[in-house]
Homo-oligomer: A and B are copies of this chain.
Amino acid sequence: MNKLLIVGTVAFDAIETPFGKTDKILGGAATYIGLSASFFNLKSAIVSVVGDDFPQEYLDLLKDRNIDISGLEIVKGGKTFFWSGRYHNDLNSRDTLDTQLNTLADFQPKVPQEFKDADVVMLGNLHPLVQASVLDQMEKEPKLVVLDTMNFWMDCALPELLDVIKRVDVITINDEEARQLTGEYSLVKAAAKIHTMGPEYVVIKKGEHGALLFHGKEIFFAPALPLEEVFDPTGAGDTFAGGFAGFIAQSENVSFKNMKNAIIYGSNLASFCVEKFGTERMVGLEKAAVHERLQQFKALTQFDIVVENNG
C-alpha cells in the first residue's frame, strides 16, 4: 500500500454558525485531512502536536481510521492548539474569536521512520518552516508534495512561505489568498504567477463556488455540490485537500488527467464535511455514500454535445 504523510494542526475548535454553536470539539487541518484520506486504500500518518488535555477518545478516533499517530507528539503539561470562530450568515466569511497556539508555538515535527519514504506528502496549513522541516526529513523523494497554506503566513512569514512553495508540486490555496500572493485579480493570471514560484499544479479553492486546477495552460474545474443546507464549513478546505492527496496516493498516478479525478474526489468528500458540525459527518461517513455521491458529481457536470449538429 502507498503511504501518505500528513502534517498539520490537530486542535480543539469552538464554532458558531447561524445554526448553532459547539463547545471545544475535535478540529485541525491534519485531522480533517487524515479523516478524508482514510476513505482510500493507503497507509497514512499524521505529524502534529497536542497537549495532554487532548482526550484519548480523539486519539482512538484517528487510530480507528487506520491513521498512524506515532508522529503525533503529546506534550506533558501542555495544552492543545485552540481556535474559535464565528461564521457570518452567508457562511462564506467568518471572524476568528480566539486563537491559542499553546503547544503549537514550539512544535518541531518528527517524521516517523516508516514514513520517511512516503509516496505523497500533504503539508497542511502550518508555519512554512514546519512544512519545510518535514520535507527536510524525507529520505526518498516523494512522488508528489502538496502544500496548503493561508493568508496569515503571507502576512507574517512570506519569505519562508515562498521558500517552501518552491519545493512543492501542488499548492492548494483559496481565491483571495491566490490574489494576495500574486497581486493578480484574475485567477488565470494568479495561477500563472504561482507556477513561476515553483508548483507545477495550482489548485484554487473557491468554497461553495468549486475549485480550479491549473497546469500550465490546462484548466479543470470541479463545482461544489449544491446542497440544501450547509451546516458548518469548518474543515471543508482540508477535507478537500485530504481527498485530493488521498486519491493521488492510492492511485500512484500524478498525471493531469488523474488530478482531475482527485479534485472531484476532494470536492465529493468536502460536500459531506459541511453537512454537520466539525468532524461529525466525516467520522460517520461510509464509503458507499461517497461512491454514490460521485454519480451526483457526474450528473452535475457531464454533458454530450455533438458540435457538428450545432450550426
Contacts and interface: CB of A to CB of B under 8 A. Distances in A.
Identical subunits present: 2
Interface string A184-215: 01111100000000000000001001101000
Interface stretch (A27-35, A55-63, A146-154, A225-233): A225-233
Contact of A90 (B90, B185, B298): B185
A298 B265 CA distance: 19
A276 B298 CA distance: 33
A310 B40 contact: yes
Contacts of A226: 187-188, 212, 219, 221
A77 interface: no
B311 A219 contact: no
A133 interface: no
Chain A facing B: main interface SS: mixed
A307 interface: yes
Contact of A303 (B209, B230, B260, B309): B260
Contacts of A264: 303, 305
B227 A186 contact: yes
Interface residues of A, number: 47
A188 B271 CA distance: 14
A261 interface: yes
Interface in A267-303: 287, 291, 294, 298-303
12 contacts: A41-B311, A186-B228, A186-B229, A187-B226, A189-B229, A209-B210, A219-B300, A221-B301, A260-B303, A261-B304, A261-B305, A294-B307
A40 B229 CA distance: 39
Contact of A310 (B185, B265, B305): B265
Nearest to A39: B311
A223 interface: yes
Contacts of A305: 261, 264-265, 294, 298
Contacts of A206: 209
A221 B223 contact: yes
A89 interface: yes
Contacts of A294: 305, 307
